[in-house]
Structure 1
Amino acid sequence: MSCGDALDLSRRFSVLSWDQVRRLDAILGEAVPIHGRGNFPTLPVQPRQIVQVVRMRLEERGVRVRDVRLNGSAASHVLHQDTGLGYKDLDLIFGVSLKDDQAFRLVKDVVLDCLLDFLPAGVSKERISALTLKEAYVQKLVKVCNDTDRWSLISLSNNTGKNVELKFVDSLRRQFEFSVDSFQICLDSLLLFDRCSETPMSESFHPTVIGESVYGDFEEAMDHLCQRTIATRSPEEIRGGGLLKYCHLLVRGFRASSEADMKQMQRYMCSRFFIDFPDIGEQQRKLEAYLQNHFAGMEHKRYECLMTLHQVVNESTVCLMGHERRQTLSLISMLALRVLAEQNAIPTVTNVTCYYQPAPYVQDINFSNYYIAHVQPPQVAGRSRHLVLCPRPADVSSETGTIPLHLIGEVRFDVVGARRRVRAVVVWRLAEL
């Protein structure tokens, strides 16, 4: 290895400070509930416990674990507490050899077998099969095996979105999307300290814990994290889900370092999103799953994220036919409107003042030339609003808390009954932004 290569390698790593080690220790020691489906009990599990048990069982079965790392937003939180990202999932990476299908099956069996250890006393474990445990406690099971990537993911269920994700990696070509989520913290020294030291940790006596940025430059990535800057390398390699993560970062107050970088990233990520999810049904499933998994407890941010995605797709999509682009934009608008409905943020129309000028073809002399229905204005999130709704689309903008509404109210009129009464039906849809 040349001196230059050694220097480049050293730039990837950094030793954690005492404050960072304390935050890491707190995260590993905090009990995370693994929620069971049906009648299965909730299992309160400390991350350090499940890491130690899984590692021990793997080595008992002849699988050598190179190292165990904390990855993703939890690692970013350890390194810089005020990231603006927060953290939900606990991503734990086990470096193992996955040379064949048998190795993949062995890893899965070991994890499911370990769950038995966390079942409460009194549960008859002999009658519980691996398949039953998978159905009860596993939210997601992924296996990737190709020329460049060999890894498996087992995500344990948590109803609040704080999933414990165990990732077993032989090889993985792209380990990050953006520099701010490129951090990995090696847990081996801290776990060894837990097992061997009878003296509690202190500022003057604690293990040396190493952090790595797979972005390639630890200090630069840390600067991006502190300054809330969106940066990456080779954006064309980012998988389709990177577009959603990018919009998530924008909503959290992160910004690209320059306008040129932003436009380049957006074009690449839009193109890759539509390559990975070409069908409108796949796009809907991906969007719904992302909102469910990444905004638990932050439902008020879902609308803003979807509107940000709408803007990015509208401005930066260059790989679709016009009707395909409009179809995707309509899907995003529909999901955004659904989010508002779930939050009771859409203006009600039970009481509304309608102003209606009949169409020119209405010739009936008994039909009034000008129809006005005077009723009380609606209540929108506790605020009184007068809404003027026209047969032609009219913008209605209001504020409900932190959620900006950009809606169009269309009034459709039917003439009903022998006395030719007018019935107004108001249809809300999102305005084209």
Structure 2
Amino acid sequence: MESLANNVAGTDGDGGGGQQRLAVLSYEQVRRLHDLMDEVVCVHGRGNFPTLEVRLKDLVNVVRSKLEAETRSGGAGLKVRDIRLNGGAASHVLATESTPYNDLDLIFGVELSGGRNFDRVKTAVLSSLFDLLPDGVSRKRITTCSMKEAYVGKMVKVNHDGDRWSLISLGNSRGHRNVELKFVDSMKRPFEFSVDSFQIVLDSLLLFYECSELAISENFYPTVVGESVYGDFQEALYHLHKKLIATRHPEEIRGGGLLKYCNLLVRSYKPADPDRIKILERYMCSRFFIDFPDIGQQRIKLEGYLWNHFVGGPDDELLKYQYLMILHSVVEESTVCLMGHERRQTLCLIEELACTVLCNEQNRYSMQHAAAAAPIPTPPIIFAGGYYYAPILSAQPCTCTSYMTCTS
């Protein structure tokens, strides 16, 4: 299994000493990363706002320039430590087989110690989007507020207990990859499972685009470093290739990682340590119900997760039903922190969502089957003697093949 070569000695992860968090990407992986950065991403606008079409590498450069520009010239006046590709897109670059991913997650390392820095980051992003508006669009009446309403799907700000970061999600069109810009000063828990713990540092690749006139080739490509914040890079990469589930301290994850865990199970991932997985499931369920104690909150969270991670592909409806059945099984077997009636409430909610998914799928199948069936010809209407005669259609097929013999 040829993947990352020339390991770089890294800092010890929280999984123990002597582990190497860093590794240098091979040419094949740098090539996949280049193809991803060279893709045109579409940020769809609400209402009459046009779709922004921009290459991912250009979007990154524009946002970085706005962050580092002086405040008097409309920038944020912040120093960007590094820029990283994170999450499913990073796993896609590193995997030997093609792995699907929903969003493009980018991390900008910036200092957010002052409360005003959060606002400066938001203004810099909206100003970047303003600069990316297509030619011919009148900019006179467009404000930062209208840009936010048109192009920002979600905004999150976290500034407590040692966590200082913000998230701005661009795009709001279901079925299209959103671009998620995360601005991180510090984050205590940057991953859920080992397979989504990869971060690829983009600075050397962006510098290569800026300085080199030659295209990337097998004999000439930049040195790009990847990191696993899980701890051991090679172990996490092995989990990714073999589709294994591993995590540490799920009680530290918001929601316990429960919904992501069931999503991995439905996509044929297996626990890396089957003997301990039941213990981890209990921690996942406990943290999930701590963060979402009310049945209304649980419904919103579940429906939102289904909407974002099962986007309506040909197999997604079946996967969605199977996912809910797996979630039902995990909650039923591993929930130890709820009263009996609270547990039954949650299980009924999951059953209700599963029945809705199943009914919608059956209705869709029936409509497709009816549309594909041969049309029944309309029987002719006979006109005779000034009257219209409509033939009688029997509800049962006639079994008579000949006249009956008269016995009288």
Asked whether 1:243 is paired with 2:252, we answer: no
Q: Which residue of structure 2 aligns with residue 284 of structure 1? A: 299
Change in 2 beyond 3 A, CA 1:6/1:75: closer
Matched residue SS, 1:318: coil
* Letter matched to residue 289 of structure 1: G
Contact 1:340-1:346 at 8 Å conserved across structures: no
CA displacement, residues 274-303 of structure 1 (integer Å, 9 cap, x when unaligned):
000000000000011111111114432211
Q: Which residue of structure 2 aligns with residue 219 of structure 1? A: 234
Asked whether 1:265 is paired with 2:280, we answer: yes
Q: Which residue of structure 2 aligns with residue 47 of structure 1? A: 56
CA displacement, residues 38-90 of structure 1 (integer Å, 9 cap, x when unaligned):
1111111221111100101111132000000000010001000426x511100
CA displacement, residues 102-134 of structure 1 (integer Å, 9 cap, x when unaligned):
100000000001001211111111311111001
CA displacement, residues 117-166 of structure 1 (integer Å, 9 cap, x when unaligned):
21111111131111100100000000000021000000011422411000
Matched residue SS, 1:126: coil
Contact 1:71-1:184 at 8 Å conserved across structures: yes
More strand, by proportion? 1
Asked whether 1:142 is paired with 2:160, we answer: no
How far apart are 1:382 and its partner, in Å?
4.7
How far apart are 1:258 and its partner, in Å?
3.1
Asked whether 1:178 is paired with 2:193, we answer: yes
Change in 2 beyond 3 A, CA 1:291/1:170: same
Contact 2:152-2:172 at 8 Å conserved across structures: no
Matched residue SS, 2:79: coil
Asked whether 1:76 is paired with 2:91, we answer: yes
Q: Which residue of structure 2 aligns with residue 305 of structure 1? A: 323
In 2, Cα distance between equivalents of 1:316 and 1:337: 22
Q: Among 33, 43, 50, which residue is 1:24 paired with?
A: 33
In 1, Cα distance between equivalents of 2:96 and 2:142: 41
Contact 1:248-1:305 at 8 Å conserved across structures: yes
1:380-399 superposed matches below 5 A? 382=369
Q: Among 136, 140, 144, which residue is 1:126 paired with?
A: 140
In 1, Cα distance between equivalents of 2:364 and 2:51: 36
Contact 1:161-1:293 at 8 Å conserved across structures: no
In 2, Cα distance between equivalents of 1:188 and 1:164: 18
Q: Among 121, 132, 149, which residue is 1:107 paired with?
A: 121
Percent of aligned positions with the same letter in both sequences? 60
Q: Among 38, 46, 50, which residue is 2:47 paired with?
A: 38
Asked whether 1:335 is paired with 2:353, we answer: yes
Contact 1:90-1:163 at 8 Å conserved across structures: yes
In 1, Cα distance between equivalents of 2:93 and 2:115: 35
In 2, Cα distance between equivalents of 1:224 and 1:308: 21
Q: TM-score if structure 1 supplies the norm length?
A: 0.77
* Letter matched to residue 44 of structure 1: E
In 2, Cα distance between equivalents of 1:176 and 1:202: 32
Uncovered stretches (5+) of structure 1, i.e. residues with no partner: 348-378, 384-433
- Residues matched between the structures, number: 349
Contact 2:85-2:106 at 8 Å conserved across structures: yes
Q: Which residue of structure 1 aligns with residue 212 of structure 2? A: 197
In 2, Cα distance between equivalents of 1:305 and 1:11: 34
Q: Among 265, 268, 271, which residue is 1:256 paired with?
A: 271
In 2, Cα distance between equivalents of 1:227 and 1:120: 44
* Letter matched to residue 92 of structure 1: L
Change in 2 beyond 3 A, CA 1:293/1:9: farther
Q: Which residue of structure 1 aligns with residue 333 of structure 2? A: 315
Q: Which residue of structure 2 aligns with residue 294 of structure 1? A: 309
* Letter matched to residue 35 of structure 1: H
In 2, Cα distance between equivalents of 1:380 and 1:124: 45
Matched residue SS, 1:177: coil
